Amino acid sequence: MTQFIRSFLLLLSFSLTGVMPAMATEEPKYALVEKQGSFEIRQYDAMIVAETTINGRAVNARNAGFQPLADYIFAKDRKGGSIAMTAPVTQTRREQIAMTAPVTQQASGDSWTISFIMPAEYTMASLPAPADPRVRLTPQPARRMAVVRFSGSGSTDEMERARLDLMKQITARGLTTRGEVVFAFYDPPWTLPMFRRNEVMIELVSR
């Protein structure tokens, strides 16, 4: 059983036993600017994320990154109460790691940032500071994002197909992007892959 599944089971047990509120459904707020089939343009409000960066293959990094973030929101490594979990969990590719890294981190040469979005009620001042140095709180400004939804288990191949679909639609519309592609995963791992809501998105440069 992966750390990702163990953490979701822990979250479910908390919600069932009343230790914390039931699994949150809060999602980041946005205004829908345009929708054509599976392609959307959304204007997101500013938000704060708790994030950690993990080296390795995409799925392994997502699984490994989930644990320190879950520990942060469950207050396992810090003082204070739990923070309600929101959706989605996001994943963004970062720079390639150096060849001097340990063999266990050289399998793909990838580095990924895994993020939990903090509930909108919090500010940087009101959020508890992470005790784990791997976890950091990062404010994100309001952004306009191009988005494509896809289903599946979130495998590397599925992520790449979704990314290519997104970039194809962006090119066809003559849009300009900046930054890295962001993958968003909304459902727990026991959801059947065909019913999962996953998204791939990238920031648009305002015209």
CATH number of the structural domain spanning residue 152? 3.20.80.10
Torsion, Cα 90 73 61 194, to 10 degrees, reads -50
> Would you say residue 84 lies in a domain?
yes
Percent of the chain whose predicted confidence (pLDDT) is above 70: 80
Least-confidence region, from 97-101, 132-136, 154-158, 188-192: 97-101
- 189: confidence class by pLDDT, cuts 50, 70, 90: confident
156 found inside a domain: yes
Pairing of strands 111-117, 143-150: unpaired
Higher-scoring residue by pLDDT: 1, 161:
161
In a domain, 166, yes or no: yes
pLDDT at 4 over 90: no
Residue 199 lies in a domain: yes
The verdict on residue 17 lying in a domain is no
Between 85-89, 187-191, 192-196, the lowest mean confidence (pLDDT) is in 187-191
- The answer to whether residue 107 sits within a structural domain is yes
Give the pLDDT confidence score for residue 136 in this predicted structure. 96
Mean pLDDT confidence for 94-110: 44
Residue 101 lies in a domain: yes
**Structural domain count of the chain:** 1
Q: Residue 81 sits in which domain range?
A: 3-11+25-204
Is residue 20 included in any domain, yes or no?
A: no
Q: What is the pLDDT of residue 98?
A: 44
Among the ranges given (16-20, 46-50, 198-202), the one the predictor scored with the smallest mean pLDDT: 16-20
